[in-house]
Structure 1
């Protein structure tokens, strides 16, 4: 996150001054606050500082529950003042991260998902087959949208023993 701020000129009607000195919806922002103040004085507006929104912290589902509970029960002040008590036994860097999650917002990390290719198994038209589950049954199927073929570690622990021994490939959101 950059420490440098940007400044723009806005009037009382909520319009921005653009680079051609016309009021409208587009703005011209620079890091030179003095210049923006001169322009605001000349064209009758005021200087507005743009502040970057801090990045949200990625937390585990368990950590999200802790932070959410603090917010729901309006314990934000207690959380900030007594964070070491609330998160007893956690590493200092985790405590710092959770404090940042409370103040800057957070997103919950998704469980890793895996695709299990079945080497040597192909359909009659040559398409590779993958471990698939439907209605509690495990089987082989080509990659198909709508089929349950991306599995978490916990799901794969319930797969047949032979399937648990197979190589797995992590699925990213780009693969969806």
Structure 2
């Protein structure tokens, strides 16, 4: 977070001092320059004309987290001592970093979009494997099976054919050739 600050002087009527013209308090939309980076200038206005300082600082950037890290931060909000919860979550075998999660807790966060891949499996026809879903129209078992590209129905969701790293690991496809799918292709 930047340590640079901007100052505005606001009076009891909700009007702001104009630091460019230095002549009076104005509605915010009419003030030519309602801020200054010099705290002493703002204090001088208060001494001479009244009002109070309003300090403006940059909003900190949100931290980018994985889904697992985001779960830890969300769960910390429900705890009596969030810092201890985050510390224990990072200490007890988690690969998450405590400082990153604390920053996310305080400043907010976004969840990183997982990379997705099409996986080429040598013992299957075509490039695509399909995760089981009701949309598959190809059976009733609860895992996955080969799904040749020639059988792709245009009404099926493209997401059925995309795998995240964790899914590739889950299905034991780490040794298979994979190609990353860009946002344009999803």
Scaled by the length of structure 2, the TM-score of the pair is 0.59
Distance 2:5 2:109 in 1: 24
1:39, 1:152 → 2: CA distance?
61
The number of residues matched between the two structures is 150
Correspondence 1:2-151 to 2 at 5 A: 2-18=2-18, 19-20=20-21, 21-26=24-29, 28-79=34-85, 83=87, 85-88=88-91, 89-90=93-94, 94-113=97-116, 135-136=135-136, 148=158, 151=162
Unaligned runs of 5+ in 1: 117-130
Matched-pair contact (CA < 8 Å) for 2:115–2:181? no
Contact 1:58 1:108 in 2 (8 A): yes
- Residue by residue over 1:118-149, the C-alpha shift from the partner in whole angstroms, topping out at 9 and shown as x without a partner, is xxxxxxxxxxxxx8x99327757xxx9xx637
Offset at 1:90?
Answer: 4.0
TM-aligned CA distance change 1:23 to 1:113, over 3 Å: farther
Other structure's SS at 2:158 match: coil
Aligned residues of 2:7 and 2:42 also touching (Cα < 8 A): yes
Bigger Rg, which one: 2
Within a 5 Å distance, the mapping from 1:159-170 to structure 2 comes to 165=177, 167-170=179-182
The unaligned stretches of length 5 or more in structure 2 are 120-127, 137-146
Assess, with a 3 A threshold, how the Cα gap between structure 1 residues 139 and 13 changes in structure 2: closer, same or farther: farther
| Secondary structure in structure 1 of the residue aligned to 2:110 | strand
Q: Give the secondary-structure state (helix, strand or coil) at the position aligned to 1:48.
A: strand
Relative distance call for 1:62 and 1:44 in structure 2 (3 A) is same
TM (normalized to structure 1)? Answer: 0.62
The aligned runs of 1:152-163 (5 Å cut-off) are 152-153=163-164
Q: CA deviation at 1:155?
A: 10
Conserved 8 A contact 2:8-2:34: yes
Structure 1 or 2: more strand by fraction: 1
